[in-house]
A and B are shown apart, each in its own frame.
Chain A
Amino acid sequence: MTKILAVDDSASMRQMVSFTLQGAGYEVVEACDGQDALNKARQNQVDLVLSDVNMPVMDGITLIKNLRTLPNYKFTPILMLTTESAADKKGEGKAAGATGWIVKPFNPDQLLNTIKKVLG
């Protein structure tokens, strides 16, 4: 089963993402900040990471940088969940190794369509 790591400090966003993904048959691991995500990524080999950018403890950009240093996550797709106002974050995220981004607000269908494309 395809495993997805969903990282967001907002519980409602996390719930919405998890619910959507689980409904589409994906297995979801949730994390509430970058550090939590890094720990969970080490414990579970996931096939895709969806990460918020602005988070306490460790932000999304730092998370992506850290993930790319792990041998298991060299090529794993990592998508940032960002708001359109954070346009510069996209560049920063790409430089850190992000695959791409999904712009907030998104609805469940947009999320699933994008994920399907990335996972093939």
Chain B
Amino acid sequence: MSIDLSQFHQVFFEESFEGLETMESSLLDLDCDSVDSETINAIFRAAHSIKGSSSTFGFTPVAEFTHVLETLLDQVRQGTRKLMPDHVDLLLQSVDCLRGMLTALQSGSALDVAQSHDLIARFNAILSGQAAQPSSVETVTASVQPATAAKPAGAVDAMTWAIRFIPDINILRTGNEPVRMFRELAELGSMKVTALTDKLPDLGQLSPENCYLGWDIELITLESRQKIEEIFEWVADESDITITAQASADTLVPLDVPEPEPAAESVVVPDVVDEKPTKAVERRAEPAAEQAKAAESTSIRVSIEKIDTLVNLVGELVITQSMLGQLGNEFDMSKLLRLQEGLAQLEHNTRELQENVMRIRMLPISFTFSRFPRMIRDLSRQLGKKVELKLSGEQTELDKTVLEKIGDPLVHLVRNALDHGLETPEQRKAAGKPETGLITLHAYHQGGNIMIEIRDDGRGLNREKIRAKAIANKLIGENDPLSDDQIQDLIFQPGFSTAEQVTDVSGRGVGMDVVRRNINELNGSIDVRSVEGEGSTFTIRLPLTLAILDGQLVQVGEQVYIIPLVSIVESLQPRLSLVNRVAGGCDVFRLRNEVHSHYSAVRNFCHHTRNQQLEKSLLVVVETGTSKVALVVDELLGQQQVVIKSMEANYQKVAGVSGATILGDGTVSLILDITDIVQMAGVHQQHKNGLKLVSSRVGAG
């Protein structure tokens, strides 16, 4: 039976990466002076598991590497070695190295073993340095050698062996059946078994659970002594077994004399076993490309409770369906009320089912948060800053796709907070703050959104500096009146960076504009609040899922569009007196003394609102970040959850449209991309001499 082991690789990689995360977070928790046994055990177990599986699936370099790691961990665990901070560093480096090796293996690319060999050498130096007892494996191999030094493969003379087997009285209680061993022996050749009954007690004292018998076995076989020993391997320690060679058919070879043979050969595993792994290796090598492809498809682990809930819900749905079916077969108007009830129940079931199916994709944000303790540890050392990291709300669940995509922006923000936000210990002391800075990551639900806050108690944003920089970069004019919020928002503009000098830590050419863009792509938003000298807080707002959206249906001419509910601020009927046409042909309107541009959906999508007069239309005010734009629509229809279908996948990217959905009546409706639309309004404004600033002036006047 041949089984393709590569089908288990995906799971192996996933659990190994998980194991590495466990190792990493546990290593960070370790206190060298008082090693917590549960923590060190967890680390050991993770390393041990990776070693076991990687050797089984043929990833020998990984197995070899984890072996030395495990040896050190085992000594610490057993208390024979004191854990040093250096060891923790080395172990953390090993985690990184293993992660790299596994990633390379997963993607099918070439494995760079230089780093692992270097680390192995360092581990070996530690292990041998303290003249600790040699690792158990070597002892085993050494002691096993003489036993395995059996007859060379060429010597195939039939031998007669006399075997005396007196098992332990408790042998049956370990599930070992002497009959099984006889059966196996019989497969080796012909044999004669004589029972030794001298220890058999009187019937009255006989316990059927004990084994009182012993056996003398005469076996004639071509097989080696090793084969016979293997059969008794599991019971050898507690049983009395002697195996003696009687005679060979042709030449009498006394077996006690060990054959002189090179050590290398003597360790060779029996042929049968030896041959197959080689084949397995060959098999694995062939479909490397396919394997790499398969590795890309990701899977998700779902708790049994979630699945059970789904099964229950489907059960309820089936009941409702059969009830409705029955009602439909014999329907008359007297049953109208029951029909309505049934339909209401169906709606309820469907909604619950939908919510729960969505929940399958949800993972706790701890998956992303967990990387930060390590990052902060490394960075704070590198920068010479003292930092405490506080995480809260790690159990807040988020769609898997959102979770994967939010990782990089979060890393960027945390790096920034540490590099630019926090001061050095001396500066903090001088400012009357505790030397150790505080960075807080907090996740929570608000409305239908997930909020993530990244807060630091550092120096805060310097508005004058930002302003000066923005003027220098020609983002704003010298005399533009800007509110504090507007100034802070400038840091999200493309090409803006407040750091005087680009550092290794956060100055990697990725600016806050990219962070905002990435978050906007997830239908989320980011803004910042900062008090100079007290610190900054970045708040990210994300939708729970990317697959479903709470939408407001609006009528524009003959078409129905969908505006994401999260971006709608309010809807109103405009008074003409508040609407101005400013120079350049742009329309602005004043809303409670704030001035906004209004942007007619008609221009973009080439069809007209039914109401030619603006006062008969409605304005829907939408915002992203701090820019607000009003969309002109004919009518507000209902609000509903819509399933987002990709435009790119089915047609092509359309500016201002993030996707499409199918409405209840079967028509297709486009979902507006508010970020895009605000930007388009912005482009329009810039084109017309900067409407935003123009409108500010109008507002001020």
Contacts and interface: CB of A to CB of B under 8 A. Distances in A.
Interface of A: 9-13, 15-16, 19-20, 23-24, 52, 54-56, 68, 74-78, 81, 83-88, 91, 94, 97-101, 104-110, 112, 117-118, 120
Contact of A9 (B9, B11, B49): B49
Contacts of A99: 174-176, 234
A93 B570 CA distance: 70
A74 B238 contact: no
A85 B70 contact: yes
Interface of B: 1-3, 5, 7-9, 11-12, 14-15, 42, 44-45, 48-49, 51-53, 55-58, 63, 67, 70-71, 135-137, 139-140, 172-177, 179-180, 183-184, 209, 233-234, 237-238, 273, 276-277, 280
Contacts of B139: 87
Given A12-B8, A54-B45, 11 more contacts: A9-B49, A10-B52, A75-B173, A85-B71, A94-B174, A97-B175, A99-B176, A105-B52, A107-B56, A109-B1, A117-B180
A76 B45 CA distance: 27
A87 B175 contact: no
B140 A87 contact: yes
Nearest to A56: B45
Contacts of B237: 91, 94
Contact of A104 (B7, B56, B273): B56
A70 to B, nearest CB: 13
Nearest to B181: A117
B180 A13 contact: no
Nearest to B172: A75
B209 A74 contact: yes
A43 B29 CA distance: 38
B640 to A, nearest CB: 40
Contact of B136 (A85, A91, A107, A118): A85
A56 B19 CA distance: 12
Contacts of B44: 54
Given A19-B8, A74-B173, A54 B234 contact: no
Nearest to A106: B56
Contacts of A76: 175
A83 B47 CA distance: 12
Contacts of A24: 1
B49 A88 contact: no
A13 to B, nearest CB: 5
A84 B137 contact: yes
Task: List 4 A-B pairs, minimum CB-CB distance, nearest first.
Answer: A100-B234, A99-B175, A12-B12, A105-B55
A120 B181 CA distance: 10
Contacts of B49: 9-10, 54
B136 A88 contact: yes
B1 A12 contact: no
A2 to B, nearest CB: 14
A52 B52 CA distance: 10
A91 B42 CA distance: 23
B238 A100 contact: no
Contact of A97 (B173, B179, B277): B173
A10 B173 contact: no
Given A23-B1, A74-B209, A101 B276 contact: no
24 contacts: A9-B45, A10-B49, A10-B53, A11-B14, A13-B52, A15-B11, A16-B57, A20-B3, A52-B52, A54-B44, A74-B209, A75-B173, A84-B140, A85-B70, A97-B174, A97-B175, A98-B174, A101-B234, A107-B56, A107-B277, A108-B2, A108-B3, A109-B2, A112-B1
Contacts of A74: 173, 209
Nearest to A93: B174
B183 A12 contact: no
Contacts of B70: 85
Contacts of A100: 176, 233-234
B136 A104 contact: no
Given A100-B176, A110-B273, A118-B180, A12 B136 contact: no
B53 A13 contact: yes
B3 A85 contact: no
A20 B2 CA distance: 9
B189 to A, nearest CB: 17
B168 to A, nearest CB: 10
Contacts of B51: 83
A73 B137 CA distance: 32
A76 B173 CA distance: 8
A105 B136 CA distance: 17
A46 B270 CA distance: 31
Contacts of A83: 48, 51-52, 55
A58 to B, nearest CB: 12
B175 A78 contact: yes
A85 B67 contact: yes
A94 B238 CA distance: 9
A12 B15 contact: yes
Contact of A16 (B8, B42, B135, B140): B8
A111 B52 CA distance: 15
Given A85-B70, A85-B135, A120 B183 contact: yes
Contacts of B135: 85
Contacts of A16: 3, 5, 8, 56-57
Nearest to B48: A54
A6 B238 CA distance: 26
A104 B63 CA distance: 11
B47 to A, nearest CB: 10
A12 B106 CA distance: 14
A83 B70 CA distance: 12
B112 to A, nearest CB: 23
A90 to B, nearest CB: 8
A44 B238 CA distance: 31
A32 B611 CA distance: 66
Nearest to A78: B175
B495 to A, nearest CB: 47
Nearest to A120: B180
Contacts of B53: 10, 12-13
A104 B183 contact: no
A15 B11 CA distance: 8
Contacts of A91: 237
A109 B67 contact: no
B324 to A, nearest CB: 38
Contact of B15 (A10, A19, A120): A10
Contacts of B2: 108-109
B276 A104 contact: no
Contacts of A107: 5, 56, 276-277, 280
B692 to A, nearest CB: 54
Contacts of B173: 68, 74-75, 97
B174 A85 contact: no
A13 B48 CA distance: 13
A19 B3 contact: yes
Contact of B11 (A12, A20, A104): A12
A33 B5 CA distance: 23
A94 B171 CA distance: 10
B337 to A, nearest CB: 46
